[in-house]
């Protein structure tokens, strides 16, 4: 028998742990290679982990609801070296490897699907019994996040018929309830004591060391905020941060967008914003200055052949996520705009896959959406640079007409590039951000 250790895989930059929400198999049961073995959740995404091999699950180290760290061994699978699939005999013996799947592997009800909202029609007595019996049910981080972002109270949440293990509410259940128009919304006050922000639902009963004084309120960070904090402190500790800024005249870009936004939306079905233009400009600049598209490992510089652009996106709960456009250098402007729109939408809905928030080589953050003219962002490790885009402001500027110069009202934007001074000097960093500005001041891309 060979033994294979199943470890918790990495699921994105800054994610160091995950909650096990469901095991599809139990100890002693057989599983096939690539079959979903368990489901895990972070505050960003839910995902299934497939079995790396076929065999018998001999040991499970973490139960549902427990939180292992990335890289931890979560199970052991024993397999015959010459074992084959169902009902196939092992050569030279009478032994067979039979795959015994649980009768309800995915814990989904056998009831036929109905139109949205049909499963939510219950009497008030049934609703109260349902809430009481499930009051201490474990909720995954994703379900908590989605419910909180939609201001769904705990009492309202408890009316949803869960299809997960032991009646647990899954993300599919919650999405179906929302699509059905939240039939129980008016039955409960979302500000009551059973709101999701309370400790019993947030999953912590620990006593805080700091005691709030008069006029103070003690708010514990959620897991996403803790991970962001750890990631930011780590980045400042690793990289000596330097920032270079340029002020550019984007009057032509503003005029181009105003003239083309209606045509663009009719043609492609999405709004034309400045963000894809800036991403497009950054990609062109990275092609010219490839030593920005790198990372550092010990005393080595890793030069990336692919350009993967991360775009910081604010979430409904106030936290931040960075979905990544893979191979951005191989995409047309229209394709970049479509991918950005899709990733941003699914990020706010909590529907991103783990692969969509990792692998970035350069990050862009838009501070202009909050009317900030500039900023000095922190590098998203293991990258070596991050671009901050300020708001567009109308200012007096020099207008050149032939050989004459005059003063006119111009649209001005500030770009700031923060970079890792271990490997990017001022000349390279300054030249790179200047190149982005030059592209944005020039001809706009075709769509």
* pLDDT tens digits along 18-72: 889 889 898 988 898 888 899 888 766 778 888 999 999 999 999 888 889 989 9
By three-state DSSP, how is residue 7 classified?
A: strand
172 or 310, greater pLDDT: 310
Please report which confidence band the pLDDT of residue 289 belongs to, taking 50, 70 and 90 as the band edges: very high
* pLDDT tens digits along 179-197: 888 888 777 654 443 444 3
Residues forming the active site: 421, 425
Sign of CA dihedral 39, 40, 41, 47: negative
CATH of 2-79, one of 3.30.390.50, 2.40.50.100, 3.20.20.10, 3.40.50.1970: 2.40.50.100
* pLDDT tens digits along 293-305: 999 988 899 999 9
Mean pLDDT of the chain: 81
Give all strands of the β-sheet with 46-50 in edge-to-edge order.
19-23, 36-41, 46-50
> What is the dihedral angle through the alpha carbons of 61, 66, 67, 72, rounded to the nearest 10 degrees?
0
Sign of CA dihedral 264, 265, 271, 276: negative
Residue 217's CB: how many other CB atoms inside 10 A?
5
Residues 274-288, mean pLDDT to the nearest whole number:
97
What are the start-end ranges of the H helices in 158-222?
Answer: 171-179, 199-202
Which single residue is written with the structure tokens 């400790």?
199
| Amino acid 18: pLDDT | 87
Q: How many CA within 13 A on the CB side of residue 364? A: 27
Q: Answer whether 210's CB lies under 8 Å from 219's CB.
A: no
| Amino acid 275: pLDDT | 96
* pLDDT tens digits along 246-274: 999 999 999 999 999 999 999 999 999 99
Least confident of 206-210, 233-237, 375-379: 206-210
- In this structure, which topology does domain 242-441 adopt according to CATH? Chloramphenicol Acetyltransferase (3.30.559)
253 or 118, greater pLDDT: 253
| Amino acid 34: pLDDT | 82
Q: Return the domain boundaries, the chain.
A: 2-79, 118-202, 242-441
* pLDDT tens digits along 316-364: 877 889 999 999 999 999 999 999 999 999 998 888 888 899 899 999 9
Find the farthest-apart pair of alpha carbons in the chain and give their distance in angstroms, rounded: 95
DSSP states along 48-80 = EEE-SS-EEEEEE-S-TT--PBTT-EEEEEEE-
Which single residue is written with the structure tokens 């020099």?
398
Q: What is the pTM of this model?
A: 0.58
């Amino acid at each position: 028998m060979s033994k294979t250790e199943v470890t918790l895989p990495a699921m994105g930059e800054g994610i160091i742990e995950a909650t096990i929400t469901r095991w599809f198999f139990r100890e002693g049961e057989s599983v096939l290679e690539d079959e979903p073995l368990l489901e895990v959740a972070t505050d960003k995404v839910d995902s299934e982990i497939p079995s790396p091999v076929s065999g018998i699950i001999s040991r499970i180290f973490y139960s549902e609801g427990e939180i292992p760290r990335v890289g931890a061994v979560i199970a052991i699978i024993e397999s015959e070296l010459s074992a084959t699939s169902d009902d196939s005999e092992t050569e030279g013996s009478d032994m067979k490897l039979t795959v015994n799947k649980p009768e309800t592997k995915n814990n989904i009800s056998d009831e036929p699907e109905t139109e949205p909202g049909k499963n939510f029609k219950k009497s008030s007595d049934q609703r109260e019994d349902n809430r009481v019996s499930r009051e201490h049910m474990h909720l995954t981080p994703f379900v908590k996040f989605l419910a909180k972002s939609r201001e769904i109270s705990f009492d309202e949440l408890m009316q949803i018929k869960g299809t997960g293990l032991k009646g647990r509410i899954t993300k599919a259940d919650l999405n179906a309830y929302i699509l059905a128009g939240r039939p129980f919304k008016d039955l409960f006050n979302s500000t009551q004591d059973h709101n999701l922000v309370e400790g019993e639902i947030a999953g912590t009963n620990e006593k805080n060391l700091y005691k709030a004084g008069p006029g103070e309120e003690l708010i514990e960070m959620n897991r996403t905020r803790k991970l962001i904090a750890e990631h930011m402190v780590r980045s400042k500790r690793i990289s000596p941060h330097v920032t270079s800024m340029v002020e550019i005249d984007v009057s032509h870009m503003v005029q181009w967008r105003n003239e083309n936004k209606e045509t663009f939306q009719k043609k492609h079905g999405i709004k034309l914003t400045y963000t894809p233009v800036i991403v497009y400009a950054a990609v062109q600049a990275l092609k010219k200055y490839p030593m920005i598209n790198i990372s550092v490992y010990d005393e080595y510089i890793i030069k990336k052949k692919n350009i993967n652009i991360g775009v910081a996106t604010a979430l409904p709960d106030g936290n931040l996520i960075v979905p990544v456009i893979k191979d951005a250098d191989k995409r047309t402007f229209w394709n970049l705009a479509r991918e950005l729109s899709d990733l941003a939408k699914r990020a706010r809905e909590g529907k991103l896959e783990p692969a969509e928030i990792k692998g970035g080589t350069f990050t862009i953050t838009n501070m202009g959406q909050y009317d900030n003219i500039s900023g000095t962002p922190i590098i998203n490790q293991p990258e070596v640079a991050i671009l901050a885009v300020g708001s567009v402001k109308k200012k007096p500027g020099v207008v050149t007409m032939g050989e004459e110069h005059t003063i006119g009202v111009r649209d001005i934007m500030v770009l700031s590039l923060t970079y890792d001074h271990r490997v990017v000097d001022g000349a390279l960093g300054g030249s790179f951000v200047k190149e982005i500005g030059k592209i944005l001041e020039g001809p706009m891309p075709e769509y």
